[in-house]
Amino acid sequence: MKKILAIALIALASITLAFAQGGAETSTGAAAYNETGFTNDTLTFVIPGSAGGGTDLAIRTMIEGLQRIYGLKVNPQQMKNTQGHTTVKNAAPDGNTIMLATAALLTQYVSGNSDVNPLEDLTLIATLDDNGYSVLAAPVNAPYNTFEEFVAYAKANPGMVNAGMPAAGSNTFLFGKLESVLGIELNHVECASESDRLTNIAGGFIDIGVVGLGNAISYEAAGKLKVIGTVAGNGITIADSGRELGDNYKTLQEQGYDDCYVLCMHYVYGPKGMNPDQVAKLNASFKTIIEDPTVNEGLRKIGHIPLWHDLEESKAIQMEEYNTTVETAKFLGLYAL
């Protein structure tokens, strides 16, 4: 009788503890999470990119919202792209380790520079803000002043226009798509970081390169480069940036090149095997973050376009960008799968 009573008391204590935790649902082997999808543990937010870059600034903008709105304890972890992707892949699927990833996750996988498969090794939580505008900048003395003139010059001088880009990064794929759509051939020059591209454009060592909107504006004002257009997502206009800019900043689609766009979204990922209910709650919580006025304005200030998509839309956008990446990789001879 005493043994039965003891077992009953243990069961009652367990039930009481569960209610004391706010009735949080759990996934197998995972920490309890609440209606936001987050747990009471410290959230590790992996930053797969360099300090001061677009992903870094976006994550830190979102972290401010996560702390202020949800009272979360957040630990940002800066890592190189592949290291960050691998860290999240190998983390426990309890929602305490997430990252904000860009097209680099896709390009590195399809080109064989990473074994982290974004479709199989991770859990997609949300597709968020568009990574903004990729500004096409040239030296001030370049023999073209508009994108139309650039295309004509590139066609007349195949393989002679030096385009600065990483060996196999997002900008490599951007230029690859432009080459395939426009029928031009560029000379790919290793120039991985934006700071390197800015220096080499200003010095006239490369003929064209991609830079961020903020840097393009400041360097143009200082007379160190000229802007001939921007590449953005399908249907995005330069007016969506919220800034008043000259016609030379118009997107290539606005300039009449309908197929010259790239999807370059930010994706929130967690490890493979996360509880679907928790993922749905996290997706909804990031909607609140993106729509928060302070976070929204902060993302716009760094040149991003704040967006949020539900899980179905997020997966569709992910697949469209992945398939486009595969096509461009094959065109460039970089497809390694």
The per-residue pLDDT for range 164-182, each reduced to its tens digit, is 998 878 899 999 999 999 9
Whether 315 shows a pLDDT value over 60: the answer reads: yes
Q: For residue range 25-43, list pLDDT tens digits in order.
A: 444 445 699 999 999 999 9
- Which amino acid type is present at position 223? G
Whether 7 shows a pLDDT value over 50: the answer reads: no
pLDDT of amino acid 241: 84
Q: For residue range 211-246, list pLDDT tens digits in order.
A: 988 899 999 999 999 999 999 988 999 998 888 999
User: What burial class does residue 4 get, using C-beta atoms within 10 Å of its C-beta: 0-12 exposed, 13-18 middle, 19+ buried?
Assistant: exposed
pLDDT of amino acid 213: 87
CA–CA distance, 264 with 164 (Å, rounded to integer)? 19
Residue-averaged pLDDT of the chain: 89
pLDDT of amino acid 4: 43
Q: Cβ atoms within 10 A of the Cβ of 149, count?
A: 13
Whether 15 shows a pLDDT value over 50: the answer reads: no
CA–CA distance, 305 with 127 (Å, rounded to integer)? 12
pLDDT of amino acid 195: 87
Q: For residue range 142-164, list pLDDT tens digits in order.
A: 999 999 999 999 999 999 999 99
pLDDT of amino acid 182: 97
- Which amino acid type is present at position 111? S
pLDDT of amino acid 10: 40
Q: What percent of the chain has pLDDT over 70?
A: 91
pLDDT of amino acid 28: 42
